[in-house]
């Protein structure tokens, strides 16, 4: 069986990256072959190096299996995984193509989450650019007369989301409280929102806070968020993807809206992988 994903042209890089991780994690669980649409692999190559999952079209060409592309089209944007899960394990194994949609594969990602940073590795040049960007931000704070150790906190903001400013204020206050025992650290807040003015107005500032606001869906924006020690985000492809690649710091997460099932999945995910994940609700 081949596991692949339904990816629409024009989807943002973080969503494509999470779909790629989902394909890898599900194929690992099912003992299947992971494959990804070729055009989507090209999107990922703007940011990531050494992608191990092959193009679906490559399998089609090598195996003369054009029916796989027909099955992918027939599955639609939601994929066919939900339909296959209703079948017996035997019939599921006999399926030729398992297609995932945009829904995050919480269980599979939970089981494999410690391996995920190695599955999608940023290009060396991009990691270096992110490192230099954070270092310039740290230097700018030190130039103000602060000389303590710097903690980088990546914030994936969601302008317009319900209670979002209250969540970020409380989460950063809790983060600051947790870190004060490490020697009054300084903070560089890396905002991942598209709207930099929203970050400045809603993310708590101060002499020890600096906002850097590249687009969250750009390669540099993703690399900056992943280079941070800690993260504060709302549950979604961008936030989870960034937090899974951060170093072993604290992650504060808030699930805006969604169904009861999605909330339960989020809670199960947080409980399975913490520490260092903490869920806040409003």
CATH of the domain at 213: 3.40.50
Residues 115 and 129 in one domain: no
The label of the residue with tokens 């299996």 reads 65
The label of the residue with tokens 């690399």 reads 223
Q: In what order do the strands lie in the sheet with 33-36?
A: 54-55, 33-36, 2-5, 97-100
Higher pLDDT, 197 or 223: 223
Residues 37 and 52 in one domain: yes
Mean pLDDT of the chain: 76
Residues 186 and 134 in one domain: yes
Residues 102 and 156 in one domain: no
Of 70, 91, 121, which residue constitutes the final position of a domain? 121
What integer pLDDT is reported at residue 135 of this predicted model? 84
Of 102, 121, 140, which residue constitutes the final position of a domain? 121
Residues 103 and 141 in one domain: no
d(CA 37, CA 73): 12
What integer pLDDT is reported at residue 224 of this predicted model? 83
Residues 53 and 67 in one domain: yes
Residues 153 and 106 in one domain: no
What integer pLDDT is reported at residue 221 of this predicted model? 82
Residues 134 and 193 in one domain: yes
Higher pLDDT, 56 or 262: 56
Q: How many CB atoms lie within 10 A of CB 58?
A: 13
Residues 143 and 273 in one domain: yes
The average pLDDT across 213-218 equals 69
Q: What is the pLDDT of residues 136-180, one digit of tens each?
A: 877 776 666 555 567 777 777 655 555 567 777 777 777 777 776
Q: How many CB atoms lie within 10 A of CB 74?
A: 11
Of 75, 100, 121, which residue constitutes the final position of a domain? 121
* C-beta of residue 53 within 8 angstroms of C-beta of residue 23: yes
Higher pLDDT, 94 or 109: 109
Residues 133 and 82 in one domain: no
Tell me which residue of 129, 73, 96 sits closest to 1, measured CA to CA.
96
What integer pLDDT is reported at residue 157 of this predicted model? 63
The average pLDDT across 242-258 equals 66
* Band of pLDDT at residue 258, cut at 50, 70 and 90: low
Residues 100 and 16 in one domain: yes
Residues 108 and 135 in one domain: no
d(CA 164, CA 279): 14
The average pLDDT across 51-65 equals 92
What integer pLDDT is reported at residue 40 of this predicted model? 94
Q: Is the pLDDT of residue 227 over 60?
A: yes
What integer pLDDT is reported at residue 162 of this predicted model? 54
Q: What is the pLDDT of residues 167-179, one digit of tens each?
A: 777 777 777 777 7
Number of domains in the chain: 2
What integer pLDDT is reported at residue 152 of this predicted model? 77
List the domain range (segments joined by +) for residue 75: 2-121
């Amino acid at each position: 069986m081949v596991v692949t994903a339904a990816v629409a042209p024009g989807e943002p890089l973080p969503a494509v990256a999470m779909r790629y991780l989902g394909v890898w994690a599900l194929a690992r669980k099912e003992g299947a072959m992971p494959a990804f649409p070729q055009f989507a692999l090209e999107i990922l190559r703007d940011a990531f190096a050494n992608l191990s999952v092959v193009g679906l079209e490559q399998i089609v060409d090598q195996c003369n299996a054009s029916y796989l592309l027909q099955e992918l089209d027939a599955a639609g944007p939601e994929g066919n995984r939900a339909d296959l899960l209703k079948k017996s394990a035997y019939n599921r194994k006999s399926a030729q193509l398992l297609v995932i949609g945009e829904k995050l594969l919480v269980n599979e990602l939970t089981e494999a989450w410690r391996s995920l940073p190695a599955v999608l590795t940023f290009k060396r040049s991009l990691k270096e650019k992110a490192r230099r960007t954070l270092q310039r931000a740290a230097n700018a704070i030190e130039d103000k007369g602060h000389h303590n150790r710097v903690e980088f906190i990546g914030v994936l903001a969601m302008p317009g989301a319900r209670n979002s400013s209250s969540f970020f204020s409380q989460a950063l206050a809790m983060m600051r409280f947790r870190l004060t025992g490490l020697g009054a650290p300084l903070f560089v807040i890396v905002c991942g929102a598209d709207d930099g003015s929203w970050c400045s107005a809603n993310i708590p500032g101060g002499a020890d806070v600096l906002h850097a606001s590249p687009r969250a869906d750009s390669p540099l924006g993703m690399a900056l968020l992943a280079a941070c020690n800690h993260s504060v985000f709302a549950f979604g492809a961008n936030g989870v993807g960034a937090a899974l690649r951060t170093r072993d710091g604290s992650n504060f997460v808030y699930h805006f809206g969604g169904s009861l099932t999605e909330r339960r999945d989020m809670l199960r995910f947080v409980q399975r992988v913490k520490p260092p994940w903490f869920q806040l609700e409003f």
